[in-house]
Amino acid sequence: MIQRKQTLFLLQSLFFNIALFFIPNKYIFTDLLNKKVLYLIPFVNSSIGHYAAITINCLIIILTLIVIFLYKKQSLQLTLGKILWFFWIILILMILFCPFTNKETNATEITTNYFSIFICFAGLLTIIFACKLIKRDIELLKSSERIR
């Protein structure tokens, strides 16, 4: 299981997801002080989009773990990998375009931390590489069955 390249890519994607819990993705500038919006500790005035992003991130972590442990069922692993692509893209778009605070926040400016976007793209790329390797394994198994 761990010796396969796609498992290493999936583990790397898992580490990127866990890193997103600790890296702020929005900076909120107010009149009083600067606040950082983290995934792990949402503020009291967080919007529904912020909670949805947290939920999607947790869902990606769970699906990645499931994909890692389904190493004997490559076709199901590939299907779940494609679903992971979709969730990563949704998460990237939510971080880019979704405001994570309610209207009641006295924010003068809200900026996006592009390092978190970079981590999301890196996670998406690792899932894409893992799916390509899973597909290559499926083709290798099919060709070996034909030879018999």
Cβ atoms of 22 and 116 within 8 Å: the answer is: no
pLDDT tens digits, one per residue of 17-26: 999 888 877 7
What one-character-per-residue DSSP string does the chain give?
-TTSHHHHHHHHHHHHHHHHTTS--EEEEESS-EEEE-SSS--TTB-HHHHHHHHHHHHHHHHHHHHHH-TT-HHHHHHHHHHHHHHHHHHHHHHHH---B-TTS-EEEEEE-HHHHHHHHHHHHHHHHHHHHHHHHHHHHHHHHHH-
Closest residue by Cα to residue 105 from 45, 34, 33: 45
Cβ atoms of 30 and 94 within 8 Å: the answer is: no
What pLDDT is attached to residue 60?
Answer: 94
Q: Taking the complete model, does pTM exceed 0.75, yes or no?
A: yes
Half-sphere exposure of 146 (CA within 13 A, CB side): 6
Range 97-113 average pLDDT: 69
Instruction: Rank 25-29, 39-43, 57-61, 103-107 by mean pLDDT and report only the highest.
Output: 57-61
Cβ atoms of 19 and 119 within 8 Å: the answer is: yes
Q: Rounded to whole angstroms, how far apart are CA atoms 7 and 4?
A: 5
- Whether residue 32 is predicted with pLDDT greater than 70 in this model: the reply is no
